[in-house]
Amino acid sequence: MICFFPDPYIDEIFYSICARYSQIASLPSVRGVLRVLFNSPNVIATLEFQSHLENLSKSLPPGGIYTSDYFIDNHTLLPIFSPFLTKEREKRIRDDMKGTGGPNLHYRSGVMASTVKSFDWMRYCPSCVLEDRTNYDMTYWHRLPQVPGVFVCPTHGDHILNSEVPARNRRSRLTYTSAEGVIPDKVVNKQPLFYEECHDILLRISKSIFRLLENPHDPVGFEATRRFYLYRLYEVGLASSTGRLRSSELLGEFKTKYSKNLLTLLGCNLEDDVEENWLLRLIRNHRTSHHPLRHILLLDFLGSTLNDLYGDTPEIEKKLFGVGPWPCLNPCCEKYLQNCIDDIHVQKSGDNSEMQIGIFSCKCGFSYKKILPADNQEQKEAYYAISYGPLWESRLIDLWENPEISLRELARILNVDPRTINRQANRLGLSFPRPGGHRLEINPDDVLKEKIEVPPDANKYREGWLSLITGNPDKGTSYLRKISPGLYTWLYRNDADWFRTHKPVAKKTISIEERVDWQNRDIELSSLVLIEGNKLLSEPGKLIRVSISSIGRKLGCLALFQKHIDKLPLTKAALSEITEDQVAFGKRRLHWVVEQFKSENTFPNRWQMIKKAGIERLLIYQDIIDELDKAMDSFRT
């Protein structure tokens, strides 16, 4: 048990607590300090995520407040990562910090794979140092200045300065250096001119990070975070109603608000020639961890705060159908035209048009749908019944047997078309003709007229469609629809009969069957596959994975492999023999990187080896970890 342990100061990073303990305890060796604190001599001094914390809390006197969770929430950097992780991943990181999972922490949090780099030196705010020495007769390392993206103190507005203490000591990762012994009494704070130009933005970022450290939050989850971003982007016109990003506009406005120099400073560059950059990945493919600085930057761009992220985010699709509750349209329901439907189900149409369909269901059993076009084009308010429910059907059965009510009157009472009455009566098995002999009282001329009636403004839409066909004689309906989706949608909905008879003539595909000698082709291709695969394995320069795709592209036979591989058993066996899975390719990249470093007479760190080999996502495989260990050992022999 540890008899003495210094009380942590406000916002003191755990590294600093250990440094003060090491200085006060005056133990003969650093490993002795680690053995006393963590019951292990091999703990690494790290800033972001300290491990073995459960060993420390158990060594302290019982009944105190210094638990492992207390240290994690108040003296490490996990609180700035937690909101942007899943609950499961945050728990695994927390468990690793309590236990012995130190090597995995930077991988799970996304720090290792991110281009947002940690600072090389321990950092401090000059005004905070003065306050510390006034209040405590000494200063200490604060958490906030060590966080990537913090260049301005949110309390004093001072520029954060580098000390002479390396944040990661390459000679000894077991060393703890206290702040009091290295920060001078008088500090001259000279801010670069560039920092003045973007001071307000840097100050907002620092304040956001400070709030995260001051008030730890639970994880939001990847999907909830993505949905929030899409909702806010939709509100400002940078995403469509279907959740599709307007990428060019988003990148343009983002680069306008944040200069290239600022993004470079923050490690958040957006290259012009990269289609899939970190900003788009953050919104589109939110299944992996991203550095919290990028989330904070995007929130700042959207004019949002972390508290907004925890609020109820309406789904974009549901917002398009107005604010609920919505009315029941069943005239037989006691809540007819009253707003009693609290929720809707939204789905996309199945014809690739990406039109949104809102389905409204009342407790009476009546349900209806409303359709919105993909690009929010103007349309008339139209609803379509899906299910009429038992109340409506019972009312129809009762009125159907009443000979005093005509079919038109019955349709008016039930708020549908007379033909709908007939269809539903037939579905329910009601008698035909109705009692009293009242048939459908519609003049045949009116029916004919109704069928051929031309909707208002149809002529201009028809002319536009015919012009499209004339101007694109070799194109089909799908192509015309893409270049003029609004025209297609209007005709499809409002002038369907004419539209069906005025589509481009479908072209018949003439297929010429050729007799193929699959056996000879198989023999020839199987040998070529082995030759090409070995060439890829021995080629100098940048490595290419030996895969079905890479071999197929080299031989010009990729489509053949994809569609007819079952007819080529020898080729299939050759491909299985020569191709690499991702683990095998990862090992080959490691060997290649080792040779590169040795040719440069460079001794790499573990993270440099991982980064250059590009195996961040493969560290879940034990074979890769073992191969990485062998690679690192090869530099020590």
**pLDDT, tens digit (0-9, with 9 covering 90-100), for 170-226:** 555 557 788 988 998 877 665 554 566 788 899 999 999 999 998 888 888 877 788
Q: What is the pLDDT of residue 47?
A: 78
Instruction: Give the tens place of pLDDT for each residue, 514-537.
Output: 567 888 888 888 889 899 888 888
The answer to whether the bond into 325 is cis (omega within 30° of 0) is yes
How confident is the model over 224-265, as pLDDT tens digits?
788 788 888 888 888 876 667 888 888 889 999 998 888 988
H/E element holding 200? Answer: helix 199-214
Would you state the pLDDT for residue 275? 56
Q: What is the DSSP letter of 250?
A: H
In 13-160, beta strands by DSSP E: 121-124
pLDDT for the residue numbered 125: 92
Please say whether the beta carbons of 22 and 35 come within 8 A.
Answer: no
Judge residue 12's burial from the number of C-beta atoms within 10 Å of its C-beta, 0-12 exposed, 13-18 middle, 19 or more buried: buried
In the DSSP assignment, the letter for residue 426 is H
Mean pLDDT along residues 411-433:
86
Percent of the chain with pLDDT over 90: 15
**What's the rounded mean pLDDT across residues 148-169?**
87
Mean pLDDT, rounded, for 378-394: 77
Q: What is the pLDDT of residue 87?
A: 87
The pLDDT, as a whole number, for residue 444 is 42
How distant, in Å, are the alpha carbons of 37, 52, 68, 179 from that of 42? 11, 10, 19, 23
Mention every residue, 6+ apart, whose C-beta is less than 8 A from residue 370.
321, 357, 358, 360, 382, 383, 384
84: pLDDT strictly greater than 80 = yes
**Chain-centre distance of CA 146, in angstroms?**
27
Tokens, residue 413: 């009472």
Bond from prior residue into 219 cis (ω within 30 degrees of 0): no
pLDDT of the residue at 377: 44
**Confidence at residue 154, expressed as pLDDT on a 0 to 100 scale:** 93
pLDDT beyond 60 at 360: yes
Query: Can you give the pLDDT at residue 133?
Result: 92
Going by pLDDT thresholds of 50, 70 and 90, the confidence category of residue 378 is very low
> Do residues 330 and 389 make contact, with C-beta atoms less than 8 angstroms apart?
yes
